[in-house]
Structure 1
Amino acid sequence: MTELFEREGVSGVLHRPAGDPVGALLLAHGAGGNRDAKMLQRAATEFAERGLLVLRYDLPFRQRRPKGPPSPSTADRDREGIAAAAEAIRELTSGPMILGGHSYGGRQSTMLAAEHPESCDGLVLFSYPLHPPGKPEKARTAHLPDLRVPCVFVHGTRDPFGTPDEMRAALELVPTPTRLVLVEGTGHDLSPDKSAAAPLAVAAAADLFEF
């Protein structure tokens, strides 16, 4: 069952499981997308079927304008939006709180978790943008050693934002348990309608977080 979810500073779509939720998952979109991105919809459906309360939501930059990328100067406001969404969803379940999302949304979730470890109990990250395409020297890994929660990374083997080997090396920086789920033949969008990215993510998360 899905329903619109609106709170101060939070705008999204809530996927409720059939019974009492075993936990919650928040899914933020990428730099060019919104809460209706196909990857988020597919993942939300799959995780809700596994018993999680799932919110796919618009980050503050997308709430301010319907199109266009985020600005690095306002990334802190997007992290504040993630924290606000988590606080709102905590009122609906006492289970574990998992943050995540696709690309930019997942990256900002990891940064919030590194800055405020109490903000969540785990991370599920689709297509983490390890570096800009063609610029591996600009790795976005400085905060990874500060993570204090288990993490699932779901990544396409043809993703220009990070090769499988680069992702493996990055995960070695994370001091907590991690899972790397490689989706063969997919790029940054993970081809949600054609690939098994969503069910593979659910299986890895269920194993790591034990739900």
Structure 2
Amino acid sequence: MLLWNRPDGPASHTLILAHGAGAPMDSPFMDDMAQRLAARGVAVARFEFPYMAARREDGRRRPPNPQAQLLNCWREIHALVRQQVTGPLAIGGKSMGGRMASLLADDLGVDALVCLGYPFHAVGKADKPRVAHLADLKTPTLILQGERDPMGDRLTVAGYSLSDAIDVHWLGAADHDLKPLKASGLTHEQHLDTAADAITAFLSGIRKP
């Protein structure tokens, strides 16, 4: 099932946005970002991985499916949306959803990749980064990352070798959900607006060959 947020007028771009490991496609964060992007002219299609769809049916919490199954789901959703839209098509997602998209972006030949809170490593395991494929990524990529994200803060990420195709946009004093410390004087609303603006500007520079 696809959940669409469409602009009032013609869409400038389409973004397939996957959820993170623990929250569904219609979590407050996902709803908020999809609405903000649609208001800026970007059509957003959301979906759920099999384990999350099963949870919706019976209410039981489950761990994510094995990676191969998650990637196959991404392939199927991409093919479905590609049949429905014209113009530039980007993929991405929140945390795990974005990481799975990053593993397929080059193979799928998408126009862009957008990641919100990229899990560069598991919490407490900075010594085991999950970034090898990011060194050679060719797809134009935007990562929106909180400066104090426990899965990849600014200092830690600075030590990684990332492809020149990747632009990391840092959000001040923000965590994995892009929420800033109250002491920073910044608000979550401001950061979500900044993220939506950055994504829209990034996509506006992407043109389908």
Q: Is the shorter-chain TM-score for this pair beyond 0.5, marking a shared fold?
A: yes
Q: Which of 166, 171, 175 lines up with 1:183 in the alignment? A: 171
> Are 1:209 and 2:197 counterparts?
no
| Counterpart position of 2:163 | 174
Computed over aligned residues only, the root mean square deviation of the Cα atoms, in angstroms, reads 2.0
Stretch moving more, 103-112 or 142-151 = 142-151
Corresponding residue SS for 2:145 = strand
Corresponding residue SS for 1:26 = strand
- State how many pairs are aligned: 195
With over 3 angstroms needed to count, the CA separation of the structure-2 counterparts of 1:85 and 1:58, relative to structure 1, is same
Contact 1:179 1:204 in 2 (8 A): no
| Counterpart position of 1:24 | 14
- How many Å apart are 1:173 and its aligned residue? 1.7
Deviations 1:57-86 (A, max 9, x none): 211221233422214xx2111112122222
Unaligned ranges ≥5, structure 1: 1-10
| Counterpart position of 1:157 | 147
Q: Normalised by the size of structure 1, how large is the TM-score?
A: 0.83
Structure 1 Cα separation of the partners of residues 190 and 80 of structure 2: 30
Structure 1 Cα separation of the partners of residues 173 and 135 of structure 2: 29
Which residue identity lines up with residue 167 of structure 1 in the other structure?
A: V
Contact 1:154 1:197 in 2 (8 A): no
Which residue identity lines up with residue 99 of structure 2 in the other structure?
A: R
Stretch moving more, 47-56 or 188-197 = 188-197
Q: Which of 148, 152, 160 lines up with 2:138 in the alignment? A: 148
| Counterpart position of 1:82 | 74
Unaligned ranges ≥5, structure 2: 181-186
- How many Å apart are 1:104 and its aligned residue? 0.5
- How many Å apart are 1:117 and its aligned residue? 4.4
Contact 1:183 1:195 in 2 (8 A): no
Which residue identity lines up with residue 190 of structure 1 in the other structure?
A: L
With over 3 angstroms needed to count, the CA separation of the structure-2 counterparts of 1:15 and 1:210, relative to structure 1, is same
Which structure shows the higher strand fraction? Answer: 1
Structure 2 Cα separation of the partners of residues 13 and 196 of structure 1: 25
Q: Percent identity?
A: 31
- How many Å apart are 1:92 and its aligned residue? 2.7
Contact 2:37 2:200 in 1 (8 A): no
Which residue identity lines up with residue 112 of structure 2 in the other structure?
A: G
Structure 2 Cα separation of the partners of residues 13 and 197 of structure 1: 24
Which residue identity lines up with residue 205 of structure 1 in the other structure?
A: I
Which residue identity lines up with residue 204 of structure 1 in the other structure?
A: A
Segments ≥4 residues shifted beyond 4 Å: none
- How many Å apart are 1:89 and its aligned residue? 1.6
Q: Normalised by the size of structure 2, how large is the TM-score?
A: 0.84
| Counterpart position of 1:95 | 87
| Counterpart position of 2:31 | 41
Corresponding residue SS for 1:65 = helix
| Counterpart position of 1:7 | none
Deviations 1:22-71 (A, max 9, x none): 12111111111110122211111111111111012211221233422214
Corresponding residue SS for 2:46 = strand
Corresponding residue SS for 1:196 = helix
Deviations 1:119-147 (A, max 9, x none): x1111111100111121111000111232
